[in-house]
Chains A and B, each alone.
Chain A
Amino acid sequence: MDNAITVRNLRKTFRLSAKQRKLERTDARTKTAVDDLSFDVRRGEIYGLLGPNGAGKTTTLRMLAALVRPDAGDACVEGASVVSDPMAVRRLVGFLTSELKLEDAFSPDYLFDFFSELHHVDAAVRDVRKRALFERFGIDRFAQTKVADLSTGMKQKTSLAVSLVHDPGVIIFDEPTNGLDVLTAKTVTDFLMELRSEGKTILLSTHIFSLVEKVCDRAGVVIDGRMVAAGTLPELTGGRPLEDAFFDLYAATAGESS
């Protein structure tokens, strides 16, 4: 099978400050956010990383987008290693997370042009893409409004458009529908499936079961930085609702560690 993303034994630890140690009531000076994680994403599928808050999903996605370096292990995106060639990875990937904010002082139109320039997108190509994406998300209605004056949904749509300025083959979405109203969330999930039909590879993280059931071809369950189960939905659930399967997995993992 043709893999767009291969993740091998990825590990990331963070140093804990004295304050954080107190908060988490631990003496350990480091916290392992991602612990020996391995999985593959096939080209043209939507893969979901499912897990509770703090499981290490965001950190994993950040490593795959070459925003932070792994401490051990490696991951390849379309053949480019996040360790040895992060720049190529950043060129190939579209990364969207609520942590990546857009500057308040600018309009969606300006930001689209700005990020196109950073990705060295030709002006003519850029204008075609901009028109298509802005129309698709209804951004054209507020294209000249400053980001500061936009609603959360409008901001999310703008972020989505801006993360696709370079028409990436691999798209990494962290909590794509978080904090969005049902209408905007539907626009986003519809768009995800549209991207898949165009042959794009999509890796997303979420803690929303329905999103996984609705759009994901395959999923991996991440708990405490480790992949506890992975596969197609039927493989994961064995015919039961995903929610039940997840709680069983969680109970098993939590029971193991305590």
Chain B
Amino acid sequence: MKSNALTIAKKELAKFFSNKVSAVVSIALPGLLIFLMWTVMGDAMGSMFSPDDTKRPVVAVVNEPASIEGLASQAGIDVVPEDALPAVDEMRKRIEQGDAKAFAVFPDGFDRDVAAYDPATGERAPQVEVYYNSTDPDSAKAFSALTSLLDAYESSLANRFDVNAGQGAYDVAEERDIAGSVVVSIVPMLLLILLFTSCMSIASESVAGEKERGTMATLLATPIKRRDIALGKVLAVTLIGLAIAASSMLGIFAGLPSIMQGAVDMNVYGPTDYLLLVLVVVSATLLVVVLITMVSALARTTKEAGMYLTPLMIVVMLVGILGMFGGGAKTEFWYYLVPLYNSVQCMIGIFTFDFQPANVAVCVLSNLVYTGAGVLVLQRMFNSERLMFAR
């Protein structure tokens, strides 16, 4: 009787939501946490790696030639004269203090030498040396400002040809390629781990917890099939798991642009991509829930269930990490028969726009088959006196 499974599922959901605060927290927290963490991390990284644009770079120059003086002030670089190049330690100190962000040494009589230099002679050209600290964003900015100024000056002396001087967009990489490469490495792993850890507590509570508190026996004394108990519990935990997966996905997609410093645009994915993603996530959630429920049914207490589930969690993490280094989605269909790994492969394929519909179908179907087999095993476990009435 299917309705019994629904009755059980309804009761499980009612129990989960009977504590509104904990229900909201366990569903919303994963997504919110990721979003906040990534936004804060993105901000911190932004200020760490980007220079302060309000300040003009200051460069200390030894033997400043007249030609550079005018160009520098035009380019927004403040030049201060320096008698001789300081020692490395002192340069580092002064860059940190901020009175000079880079140090340049011109050879004596730079302008005269440059004018007289003929590349055809094969002699060494006059050399300018620029010292800076690459770990200080302001110093790096001063360095690049000065060197590009010098490059421009050099070109203006003998301009034979230009490269990429026009206004066109020369980088032909598509937005979706950039998004794909980033999303692929993080999202499947993160999603799988969040899903697993959140379902872990709920499923072990609903099976091992009921055994621990003696309420499972009450259920077993009623005339309902063990299969319906198993189905009802799996259904309820799956629904909660899907809510958690949805919240995690939202958090991930909302947080990605901040952590990637605006390099990703999630709008590259269309409705079909999201629909396939939902299919894969739903089937993966079912499988994860059945796995966790089976392990929980072995345990006598929720504490024991947590202990048994830890190795499984490590496996799930490893599978997720494997996806990060797989080099794109696999094309051979048997990869899509391996539980958990298949879902990661599918997600990678969908995110990189490089998937075969047949493989996604194989993944979803095999997940469903494994889930069905899991429910059968679970039914036998619920029938076992040794497991259900263990002391």
User: Measuring CB to CB, which residues of chain A are less than 8 angstroms from any residue of chain B?
Assistant: 15, 65-69, 87-88, 90-91, 95, 99-106, 110, 114-115, 117-120
B213 A101 Cβ-Cβ under 8 A: yes
**Distance A67 CA – B14 CA, assembled complex (angstroms):** 26
Asked if residues A90 and B221 are in contact (CB atoms below 8 Å), the reply is yes
- With contacts A101-B213, A105-B15 taken as known, whether A67 is within 8 angstroms of B223 at the C-beta atoms is no
**Cβ distance A66 to chain B, nearest Cβ, rounded Å:** 8
Asked whether, in the complex, the Cβ of A67 is within 8 Å of the Cβ of B19, the reply is no
Q: CA–CA, A104 to B225, complex, Å?
A: 24
Q: In angstroms, how far is the closest chain A Cβ from the Cβ of B24?
A: 16
B75 → A minimal CB distance (Å): 70
- State whether A103 touches B385 (Cβ < 8 A): no
Which of A66, A67, A104 gathers most chain B CB within 10 Å? A67
Q: Given contacts A68-B389, A100-B217, is CB(A106)–CB(B222) below 8 Å?
A: no
Task: Kindly state the separation between the CA atoms of A106 and B213 in the bound complex, as whole angstroms.
Answer: 14
Known: A69-B385, A103-B15, A106-B14. Contact between A119 and B223, CB under 8 A?
yes
Is B18 positioned at the interface, with any CB of A under 8 Å from its CB? yes
Residues of A within 8 A of B7 (CB): 114, 117-118
Shortest beta-carbon distance from B68 to chain A in Å: 78
Contact, CB under 8 Å: A101 / B221:
no
A67 and B222 contacting across the interface, CB-CB below 8 Å: no
| CB of A105, distance to nearest CB on chain B (Å) | 4
Which B residues contact A (CB, under 8 angstroms)?
1, 4, 7-8, 11, 14-15, 18-19, 210, 213-215, 217-225, 385-386, 389
Q: Is the CB of B18 within 8 A of A102?
A: no
A15 to B389, CA, bound (A): 12
Closest to A92 in B: B223
- Report whether B15 and A106 are in contact in the complex, using a CB–CB cutoff of 8 Å: yes
Residue pair A105, B19 in contact (C-beta under 8 Å): yes
Known: A90-B223, A119-B222. A99 touches B4 (CB 8 A): no
Given contacts A105-B15, A110-B14, A118-B4, are A100 and B213 in contact (CB under 8 A)? no
Residue among B4, B215, B225 making CB contact with A101, cutoff 8 Å: B215
Counting chain B CB atoms within 10 Å of each CB, which of A69, A87, A104, A118 scores highest? A118
Contact A102 B222 (CB under 8 A): no
Hey, which chain B residues are within 8 Å of A99, CB to CB?
214, 217
A104 contacts across to B, CB distance below 8 A: 213
Asked whether B214 lies within 8 Å of A114 as measured between CB atoms, the reply is no
Instruction: Tell me the complex Cα distance, A106–B7, Å.
Output: 15
Q: Can you name the residue of chain A whose Cβ is closest to the Cβ of B16?
A: A105
Give the distance in Å from the alpha carbon of A28 to the alpha carbon of B270 in the complex: 68
Q: List 16 contacting pairs A-B, 8 Å CB cutoff, sorted by A.
A: A67-B220, A69-B385, A87-B223, A90-B222, A95-B221, A99-B217, A100-B221, A101-B213, A101-B214, A101-B215, A101-B217, A102-B215, A117-B7, A118-B7, A118-B223, A118-B224
Q: In the bound complex, what is the Cα–Cα distance between A105 and B18 (angstroms)?
A: 7
User: Are B222 and A118 neighbours in the complex by a CB distance under 8 Å?
Assistant: yes
Q: Please, how many angstroms separate the alpha-carbon atoms of A119 and B7 in the complex?
A: 11
Instruction: Report chain A residues within 8 Å CB of B213.
Output: 101, 103-104
Interface pairs A-B: 9 shortest CB-CB = A101-B214, A90-B223, A100-B218, A91-B223, A105-B18, A118-B222, A117-B7, A105-B15, A103-B215
Closest to A94 in B: B221
A104 to B18, CA, bound (A): 10
Complex Cα–Cα for A244 and B217 (A) = 36
Contact of B385 among A68, A100, A102, A120 (CB under 8 A): A68
